[in-house]
Structures are given as structure tokens and as C-alpha cells.
């Protein structure tokens, strides 16, 4: 084989390898900031996944509107969320990263799916009931129908796999039901049936003040989580104020010492040291010693992330350039799906002159 044909052969292999990759789509509402729990539990694995899967990540700014938002704050958080993704190592060349609102096909497909969704299916959504109780002054139709927009997000890109937590499994099941409804009425093959993606997750990081709950970026109490862009003094203060347990022994015991166990899990994961080694090191020492050292480990880990985030936030033109590039790549895929859907349901194609 000549050198030229060898290069062509390798290029074809690379192309076929890309085409064979399964598509994963994940979106996160742009409220709050990503936390240490997000970093340890998921995002470290996202960096590995970007080499093995066709990954799309979107900034769910439309979903954020189900709760009253200050426009200036929402705009700033969307930029910041994007910068956080990049600062954590997500490559905009290997992944497609975009703002949900930049792709008008999300809302177009959502309306088609809304017209297929039985009212009773939405009435069963437990998250609506929970969120309605928390937002009694703003129980809007968007809060009620947003699982349909979520289905649109997934189906628009023909996603094979969708990472979901327990709180979102019901929404994925609705999405799968809608594929069935659509296929039964208009024919199979237009919308792909997605599957839940169970990745090799990192350690489960719990709330600093209530270690029986998972650390969450939407927690109203800032003391419960460490944001990946918190300043160093704030990180130190939060770690030192973290809930511990009765007694003084620094030992991993989730049932009886949930607070200390959570701190040891964070320390072990970030330092890549076995928990057993940490237990030996802090034998006979006080909780305060553990917290001081852990705060330093967290600060050292997040310092370059915050520095990169802050650098990116100073160059909005660069962020806009990357967001536009991501939107172009996403829209090319989205348009193929919406064109097939419109054809199937009988809507006229737009004639361009």
C-alpha cells in the first residue's frame, strides 16, 4: 500500500469510527454553579467519555425560565456555566457544547410532541408536584410541560444514551413513550428510542451540612456545597464548618459517621489516596486537623479551574465565538430531525428563493 493510500485508509477508519460512536446528550439548567460534587461525581468522567462517545452538552437556559429569573443574572450565569464546562476540561472540538435557546428546533419539536402527549401522563409527573410546592407564587404552564421540552432536547439529536439521575428517570420514560406514540401514528425510524446511560460514576458527594443528602447546585443553603468557582476563603470556611459527628474518631462509617465519611471521601478522591491510609494518618487527631488539610486539598484542586473560568469570563467575544460554533454544529443535526418530523406530520416545507 502506498503512503498516500495508507493516509486515505486511516482517514476512512477514523471517519467510520466516529460514525459508529453512540451519541450521548446531557443538559444542565443554568441555575447555581457546578459543585465539587458535580466535579467528582460526573465531570471527570465526561472528559474520558469525549474520546469514546459522540457527546453533546447543552446549557438549558430555556428550562431555567420555569422559575422567575433576573434577565441580567440569567445571561451572566449562562456565560459562566459555559466557562465552567471549558475550565473543567470539556473540549469544544471533541464535544458539541451549545446554548439550548440558540437552537430554535427545540421549541418546534416540543410543540409537535405536546400535541401527542396525553394530559394524564403529565399529571403523573412527581417533579411537577414537588416544584409547584416550592414555587407556589409561580406555578406556570412551562413548569408543567417542561418534561416535553426535555424529550425534545433528547430526540432532536437522535441520542442513543442519556445520563439521568433517579429524579429524571420518570421524564426519560415519558420521552420513550412519546417516541412510541409518534412511531405508531407516523411510522417508525424518524425518532430514535433513547436509553438511560449508566456511567462509571465517581464517588457520591454529600451535602456539607446535611450528609444524608446529595450535594446539589440548586441547594438554597450555600453552606451545603462548594462551588467550583468559590474563592479560596469561602472554600476554607465551608469545609471548616462542615457537619461532623459525635465522638472524635476519624473513621469511615457511613451509617454512624456520615459527616466524617463524606469528608474522607472527598479527601480520598481528590488526593488519590486510599481512605484506609487517611484513617491511619489522622488516628488520634481531631476533626479540625482533617478539615484544615482537606480545605487545602480542595483549594489546590479548584485553583486552576477558577483561574481558567475567570480568564474565559473576561473574553466574552471568545465565548460567543465558541457558542456560535457549537450552535452551528448542533443546528445542522437538529434541522435534519425537524425536517423529517415536519414531513411526517404533514407540515409544508419552507421554500427558499
- Grid coordinates given for 220: 438554597
Residue 352: the pLDDT is: 66
Instruction: Note whether residue 101 is domain-resident.
Output: yes
Residue 8: the pLDDT is: 44
Which of helix, strand or coil describes residue 206?
strand
Q: Give residue-wise pLDDT tens across range 252-285.
A: 999 999 999 999 999 999 999 999 999 999 999 9
Residue 7: the pLDDT is: 41
Residue 16: the pLDDT is: 46
Say which DSSP state 168 is in.
Answer: G
User: Is 80 exceeded by the pLDDT of residue 202?
Assistant: no
User: Is 70 exceeded by the pLDDT of residue 180?
Assistant: yes
> Does 94 lie in the same domain as 73?
yes
CA 182-187-191 angle, 5° bins? 55
Instruction: Note whether residue 351 is domain-resident.
Output: no
Average predicted confidence (pLDDT) for the chain: 89
> Does 134 lie in the same domain as 22?
yes
Residue 302: the pLDDT is: 96
> Does 228 lie in the same domain as 83?
no
Active site residues: 131, 214, 217
Overall domain count for the chain? 2
> Does 285 lie in the same domain as 239?
yes
> Does 182 lie in the same domain as 326?
yes
Give the range with max mean pLDDT: 2-11, 120-129, 209-218.
Answer: 209-218
Residue 266: the pLDDT is: 95
pTM of the model: 0.85
247: left (phi over 0), alpha (psi -120 to 50) or beta: left
User: Is 60 exceeded by the pLDDT of residue 17?
Assistant: no
User: Is 90 exceeded by the pLDDT of residue 18?
Assistant: no
38 against 181, higher pLDDT: 181
Q: Give residue-wise pLDDT tens across range 297-349.
A: 999 999 999 999 999 999 999 999 999 999 999 999 999 999 999 999 999 98
> Does 43 lie in the same domain as 188?
yes
Taking the mean position of all CA atoms in its chain, how far away is CA 34?
9
- Grid coordinates given for 165: 439521575
Mean pLDDT on 140-149:
89
What CATH number did the domain enclosing 43 receive? 3.40.50.620
φ, ψ of residue 257 in degrees (nearest 5): -135, 65
Q: Give residue-wise pLDDT tens across range 55-113.
A: 999 999 999 998 889 999 999 999 999 999 999 999 999 999 999 999 999 999 999 99
> Domain range for residue 307?
222-313
Cα(143)–Cα(131) distance, integer angstroms: 8
What CATH number did the domain enclosing 282 receive? 1.10.240.10
Amino acid at each position: 500500500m502506498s503512503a498516500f493510500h495508507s493516509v486515505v485508509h486511516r482517514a476512512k477508519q477514523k471517519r467510520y469510527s466516529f460514525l459508529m460512536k453512540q451519541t450521548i446528550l446531557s443538559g444542565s439548567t443554568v441555575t447555581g454553579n457546578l459543585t465539587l460534587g458535580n466535579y467528582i461525581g460526573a465531570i471527570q468522567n465526561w472528559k474520558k467519555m469525549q474520546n469514546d462517545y459522540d457527546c453533546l452538552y447543552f446549557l438549558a437556559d430555556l428550562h431555567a425560565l420555569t422559575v422567575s429569573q433576573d434577565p441580567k443574572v440569567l445571561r451572566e450565569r449562562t456565560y459562566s456555566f459555559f466557562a465552567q464546562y471549558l475550565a473543567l476540561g470539556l473540549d469544544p472540538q471533541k464535544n458539541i457544547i451549545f446554548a439550548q435557546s440558540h437552537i430554535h428546533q427545540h421549541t418546534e419539536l416540543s410543540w409537535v410532541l405536546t400535541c401527542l402527549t396525553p394530559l394524564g401522563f403529565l399529571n403523573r409527573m412527581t417533579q411537577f408536584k414537588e416544584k409547584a410546592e416550592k414555587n407556589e407564587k409561580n406555578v406556570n404552564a412551562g413548569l408543567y410541560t417542561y418534561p416535553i421540552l426535555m424529550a425534545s432536547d433528547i430526540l432532536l439529536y437522535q441520542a442513543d444514551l442519556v445520563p439521568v439521575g433517579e429524579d429524571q428517570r420518570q421524564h426519560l420514560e415519558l420521552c420513550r413513550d412519546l417516541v412510541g406514540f409518534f412511531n405508531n401514528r407516523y411510522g417508525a425510524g424518524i425518532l430514535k428510542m433513547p436509553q438511560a446511560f449508566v456511567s462509571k460514576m465517581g464517588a457520591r458527594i454529600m451535602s456539607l451540612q446535611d450528609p444524608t443528602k446529595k450535594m446539589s447546585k440548586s441547594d438554597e443553603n450555600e453552606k451545603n456545597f462548594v462551588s467550583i468557582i468559590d474563592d479560596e476563603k469561602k472554600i476554607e470556611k465551608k469545609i471548616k464548618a462542615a457537619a461532623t459527628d459525635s465522638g472524635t474518631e476519624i473513621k469511615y462509617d457511613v451509617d454512624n459517621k456520615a459527616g466524617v465519611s463524606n469528608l474522607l471521601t472527598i479527601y480520598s478522591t481528590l488526593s488519590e489516596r486510599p481512605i484506609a491510609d487517611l484513617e491511619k494518618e489522622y488516628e488520634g487527631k481531631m476533626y479540625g486537623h482533617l478539615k484544615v488539610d482537606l480545605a487545602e486539598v480542595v483549594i489546590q484542586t479548584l485553583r486552576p479551574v477558577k483561574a481558567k473560568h475567570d480568564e474565559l469570563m473576561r473574553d466574552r467575544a471568545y465565548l460567543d465565538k465558541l457558542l456560535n460554533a457549537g450552535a452551528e454544529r448542533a443546528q445542522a443535526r437538529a434541522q435534519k430531525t425537524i425536517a423529517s418530523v415536519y414531513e411526517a406530520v404533514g407540515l409544508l416545507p419552507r421554500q427558499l428563493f
